[in-house]
């Protein structure tokens, strides 16, 4: 493939910038730095809105930082690669994942851990894992990164440890779903719950993660863990629904239900499932998984990039599961 004319240079493009907490995003022209060692610049094909984006978009205080480019569920094409990158090449189709996997440390090689010990999980809000800022606005000011991805931009730079190469024949909107919400739900059922055929299961809540858990249960029998938005209102709803009836008193005793649910969900899905397992999930096994996961059902709405704020409205109002945002519309 012919090299990009922007290789080694900054590139100007459009991005949906969040300037202040809870305010509509602004489509602005920004400058995206070239990739350095172990980094890849990708052209985003499509991205979707996750409730985690909404949660941090509303935060007025740390860890809410502004201005910021949100977005972490996406599919894209490699535009250029930095030095020392051998995993992907220009033109490859990739999906970003927010949990790093260096493929070398003891944690990344283990099925029991989902935290890479070589790459920091959290760093300064404006930078990649190497401490470098990649987004500059028209005034020359730094725009904060989000989860080392920031997919609400036509182009972004991602550490190669946060990327998974996928089969180019897979529809990008389907692959996009696997980069967070769907794999979280399936991972909870498949990797964490380790349930067996015939297990009795209760699933509380709907949305992408809840639906993925339910469908993921079909792959391995059932599931007992879901993603829960950790706020008091959800816990109160849980009490009314009788969540305590499904908690083992011998294990949790008199702990408040909010503490119990937090302990169940902090383990969450094994995100190494995202970084490593997705490669096999969406290639060799994709045909069978497609029959079980029904990925089309997750996409309830689609909008063009210029209408990204409509995706926020739909999710906030509870009208969408996943709204696909197409960058070229």
What is the CATH classification number for the domain harbouring 38? 3.90.180.10
Assess whether pLDDT exceeds 50 at residue 185: yes
Domain span including residue 232:
181-266
- CA 178, distance to chain mean position in Å, is 8
What integer pLDDT is reported at residue 45 of this predicted model? Answer: 98
What is the band of 107 on the pLDDT scale with cuts at 50, 70, 90?
confident
Alpha helices in the chain (DSSP H): 51-58, 106-109, 172-178, 181-187, 207-220, 232-240, 249-252, 257-266, 272, 278-281, 286-293, 308-316
- How many domains is the chain built from? 2
- DSSP for residue 40: E
What integer pLDDT is reported at residue 280 of this predicted model? Answer: 45
In this structure, the answer to whether residues 123 and 147 fall within a common structural domain is yes
In this structure, the answer to whether residues 208 and 224 fall within a common structural domain is yes
Q: Which of 111, 103, 16 is nearest to 68 (CA)?
A: 16
The shares of helix, strand and coil residues in the chain, as percent rounded to the nearest 5, are 35, 20, 45
In this structure, the answer to whether residues 239 and 138 fall within a common structural domain is no
In this structure, is residue 234 part of a structural domain?
Answer: yes
Chain-wide mean pLDDT for the chain? 76
What is the band of 99 on the pLDDT scale with cuts at 50, 70, 90?
confident
Assess whether pLDDT exceeds 90 at residue 128: no
Q: What is the mean pLDDT of residues 94-101?
A: 87
Give me 181's structure tokens.
């919400």
Q: What is the mean pLDDT of residues 115-130?
A: 79
What integer pLDDT is reported at residue 248 of this predicted model? Answer: 43
In this structure, the answer to whether residues 89 and 107 fall within a common structural domain is yes
What integer pLDDT is reported at residue 276 of this predicted model? Answer: 38
In this structure, the answer to whether residues 98 and 225 fall within a common structural domain is no
Within a 13 Å sphere around the CA of 294, how many CA atoms are in the beta-carbon half?
Answer: 12
What is the band of 293 on the pLDDT scale with cuts at 50, 70, 90?
low
In this structure, the answer to whether residues 260 and 313 fall within a common structural domain is no
Assess whether pLDDT exceeds 80 at residue 318: yes
In this structure, is residue 273 part of a structural domain?
Answer: no
């Amino acid at each position: 493939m012919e090299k990009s004319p922007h290789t080694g240079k900054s590139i100007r493009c459009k991005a949906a910038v969040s300037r202040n907490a809870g305010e509509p995003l602004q489509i602005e022209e920004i400058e995206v730095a070239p990739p350095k060692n172990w980094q890849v610049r990708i052209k985003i094909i499509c991205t979707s809105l996750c409730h985690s984006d909404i949660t941090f978009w509303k935060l007025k205080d740390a860890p809410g930082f502004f201005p910021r480019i949100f977005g972490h569920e996406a599919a894209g094409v490699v535009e250029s690669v930095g030095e020392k990158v051998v995993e992907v090449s220009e033109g490859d189709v990739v999906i970003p994942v927010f949990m790093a996997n260096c493929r070398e440390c003891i944690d990344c090689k283990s099925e029991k851990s989902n935290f890479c010990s070589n790459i920091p999980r959290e760093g300064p809000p404006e930078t990649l894992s190497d401490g470098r800022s990649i987004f500059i606005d028209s005034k020359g000011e730094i725009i904060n990164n989000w989860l080392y991805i920031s997919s609400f931009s036509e182009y972004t730079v991602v550490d190669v440890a946060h990327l998974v190469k996928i089969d180019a024949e897979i529809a990008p909107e389907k692959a996009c779903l696997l980069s967070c919400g769907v794999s979280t739900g399936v991972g909870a059922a498949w990797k964490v719950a380790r349930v067996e055929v015939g297990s009795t299961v209760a699933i509380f809540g709907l949305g992408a993660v809840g639906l993925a858990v339910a469908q993921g249960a079909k792959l391995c029998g059932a599931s007992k863990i879901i993603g829960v938005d950790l706020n008091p209102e959800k816990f109160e709803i849980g009490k009314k629904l009788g969540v305590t009836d499904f908690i083992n008193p011998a294990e949790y005793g008199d702990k408040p239900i909010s503490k119990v649910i937090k302990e169940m969900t902090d383990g969450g899905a094994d995100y190494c499932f995202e970084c490593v397992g997705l490669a096999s999930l969406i290639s060799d096994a994709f045909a069978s998984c497609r029959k079980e996961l029904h990925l089309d059902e997750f996409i309830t709405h689609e909008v063009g990039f210029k209408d990204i704020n409509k995706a926020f409205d739909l999710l906030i109002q509870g009208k969408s599961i996943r709204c696909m945002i197409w960058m070229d519309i």
